Chain A
Amino acid sequence: MLCGIDLGSRSVKLVITDTAGKIEFTNVFETVRFYREYGKRHQDGLVVDFEALGVGQISEVIATGYGRNTIDIVGATVIPELKAHALGAIWQTGLTDFTLLDLGGQDSKVIKVRKRKMVDFATNDKCAASTGRYLENMASVLDISLEELSRYSDNPVELNSTCAIFGESELIGRIVEGYGIPELSAGVNYTIYKRIKPMLTSLISDTIVFTGGVALGQAIRRLIEQELKREVVVPQHPQLNGAIGCVAHALEKREQNAARN
């Protein structure tokens, strides 16, 4: 069994496959809960308690994500996050040339892939106002679920705040003006689109693969399709893409080794 772990800022994603790459088990944990319940401090780093996870015998662990610079998982191969995401998207979609947009808890990543290779990328750097965390905050201001927030993309109200926190009071201002949940939600989703648009347009392809927790909703996908007039593909497991990329990396290495021997 192979185990891919994507240590995100908001959640830890786990994918277990057999050695042929068939997915046997997946799970998404809140980051803190995962470390508290399944992680043990060890002098060499973090030890993951696979027994407690109930996933059986693991022969290889591949990790990536937010924690890779700060946390060493004992016995794991660590790969850079953008590489994991590019590999995951190739693995999940079978595409070789595309632009990957991954919107996670605190990260926005855009990766240009050509002939199965990452050739350029852009990420949010100093500001996380284009990420899932912002959507969570705005959903709570509107007192609706993330799922409901992600339904609306028509007639967005105008929201201009640069800062995600000031965006909350701006949104409250719009509520006071009497706008309904559909337009308010669409406005929030449109601000995400506006923030990622420069990254997307500079690395554009005919096809955009959209992953990360934010891709579970419909609205941002629709906005990208409408505004950029490009096909947007959301793979079967958008949120697990990084963890799947970890497994894909291990399978690729195994294939290469087999070819050599």
Chain B
Amino acid sequence: MSRIGITTTVPIEIILASGQVPVDLNNIFITDKEASKLVEAAEDAGYPRNICGWIKGLYSTVVNSNDIDKVIAVTQGDCSNTHALMETLELAGVQTLPFAYPFDRDYDLLKLQMDKLIAALGTDWEAVGKVTNRLKSLRQKVAEIDRLTWQENTVSGFDNHLFQVSCSDFDGDADSFEQRVDEFLAKTQAAAEFNENIRLGFIGVPPIFTDLYTYFEQMGARVVFNEVQRQFAMPNVVEDLVEQYRLYTYPYGVFGRIQDIQAEIEKRNIDGIIHYVQSFCFRQIEDMIFREKLDVPILTIEGDKPGRVDARTKLRIDSFLEMLK
């Protein structure tokens, strides 16, 4: 089975239906023991220093891999750096397939994109339908992990992040991933309740910091809502796959995301929001919209390269948590 790299969440059901293995390049990059070196390697190759660390990590991950020779790149609905990432990967001999989420959530345009991907990967809607049905129960189990996080308080912010973020590619193997989810759910039944003072929401792209969630918990706070990771996990299970990817908020405008975030702040009884932004990312501009629209205190933290949370960011987190007490 050949492995296809993805730059962010795409309709994974299509890849699986084609009998190929999806590989979320972000997860491979950030779990690499030498993730920083991957960023440096991209800079050595000519990537500018003042470009997103994720993009550089993705580039090196693909170039260094022995078994990823095809990448589906999201050209609309993630970021324009992906365009140049595709071009530099083409230069390195990697085949790239574009996938574009229509900005206005247009059903027909999204279906057309999915049709094209189905054709490109040599599968059909019937096979995709079977995979969609197979993944439904798994998505519901991951949604249960999310519920246990905020309602039963038996799941840590990091585990919540990890299981949901892994749904972008189900770690390349839905069956063994499901087994891990089942084991985790069984273990959680007997887990003690967390009793931290402060409940946080985490919005924005998943963090490039490796120990952020641990640090929050050390400081008496817990993340009970991971916005984008939850979107990757697609908790809104509907019959129509096109509709499922229309309900997915991340690739469309910020106001749809805000509606989702507002509802979850209310439901999950959130004290404060951590807005994570990546250095040099256009999403930093959206911070002003979140501050205007969300009614809870917000701390914006910025990460550049992979590694532990730096002392200055810790200082700001400490002050924010102190403010929320």
Q: B314, B319, B320: which has the most chain A beta carbons within 10 Å?
A: B319
State in angstroms the CA–CA spacing of A81 and B320 once bound together.
11
Q: A69-B311, A70-B311, A120-B297 are in contact. Are A126 and B319 (CB under 8 A)?
A: no
Q: Tell me if A125 and B323 are in contact (CB < 8 A).
A: no
Size of the B side of the interface (Cβ < 8 Å), in residues, is: 16
Closest to B314 in A: A69
Shortest beta-carbon distance from A224 to chain B in Å: 22
Is A82 within 8 A of B279, CB to CB? Answer: no
The residues in A between 72 and 123 inclusive whose CB is less than 8 angstroms from any CB of B are 80-83, 117-121, 123
Q: Nearest Cβ in chain B — how far from A204, in angstroms? A: 14
Q: Tell me if B304 counts as interface (CB < 8 A to partner A).
A: yes
Q: Which residues of the other chain, B, contact A120 by a CB distance below 8 angstroms?
A: 297, 323
Q: Does residue B264 face the partner (Cβ distance < 8 Å to A)?
A: no
Contact of B323 among A69, A119, A123 (CB under 8 A): A119
Q: Taking the complex as formed, is B312 at the interface, i.e. its CB lies under 8 A from any CB of chain A?
A: yes
Q: Which residues of B contact A68 (CB under 8 A)?
A: 315
Query: Is A126 in contact with B315, judged by CB distance below 8 angstroms?
Result: no
User: Do A119 and B297 form a contact, CB below 8 Å, given A126-B279, A126-B302?
Assistant: yes
What is the CA–CA distance of A118 and B299 in the complex, to the nearest angstrom?
13
Q: Which residue of B lies closest to A84 (CB)?
A: B319
B322 x A80 contact (CB < 8 A): yes
Q: A81 CA to B302 CA in the complex, in Å?
A: 19
- Cβ-defined contact, A80 with B302, below 8 A: no
In the complex, residue of chain A having the shortest beta-carbon distance to the beta carbon of B288: A202
Chain B residues in 8 Å Cβ range of A81: 315, 319
B322 contact from A69, A70, A83, A123, Cβ within 8 A = A83
Asked whether B130 is an interface residue with its Cβ less than 8 Å from the other chain, the reply is no
Q: Are B315 and A69 in contact (CB under 8 A)?
A: yes
Residue contact B323 to A118, C-beta cutoff 8 Å: yes
Per-residue interface assignment for chain B, residues 282 to 303, with 1 indicating a CB less than 8 Å from any chain A CB and 0 otherwise = 0000000001000001000010
Q: Are A82 and B319 in contact (CB under 8 A)?
A: yes
Contacts of B318 in A (CB 8 A): 80
B285 to chain A, nearest CB (A): 13
B323: nearest chain-A partner, CB-CB: A118
Asked whether any CB of chain A lies closer than 8 Å to the CB of B316, the reply is yes
**Structural contact, A125 and B312, CB atoms closer than 8 A:** yes
Q: Which residue of B lies closest to A64 (CB)?
A: B315
How long is the Cα–Cα vector from A66 to B314 in the complex, in angstroms? Answer: 11
Q: What separation, in Å, do the CA atoms of A126 and B277 have in the docked complex?
A: 12
Nearest-Cβ distance from residue B122 to partner chain A, whole angstroms: 46
A26 to B312, CA, bound (A): 27
State A202–B313 Cα separation when bound (angstroms): 20
A residues in contact with B297, CB < 8 Å: 119-120
Binding site for B on A (CB under 8 A): 66, 68-70, 80-83, 117-121, 123, 125-126, 202
Q: List 22 A-B contacts (CB under 8 A).
A: A70-B311, A80-B315, A80-B318, A80-B322, A81-B319, A82-B323, A117-B323, A118-B323, A119-B297, A119-B323, A121-B316, A121-B319, A121-B323, A123-B315, A123-B316, A125-B302, A125-B312, A125-B313, A125-B316, A126-B279, A126-B304, A202-B291
The list of the 6 closest CB pairs from A to B, nearest first, reads A82-B319, A80-B318, A69-B311, A80-B319, A80-B322, A118-B323
Q: Apart from A69-B314, A81-B315, A123-B315, what 5 extra A-B contacts exist at CB < 8 Å?
A: A69-B311, A69-B315, A70-B311, A120-B323, A126-B302
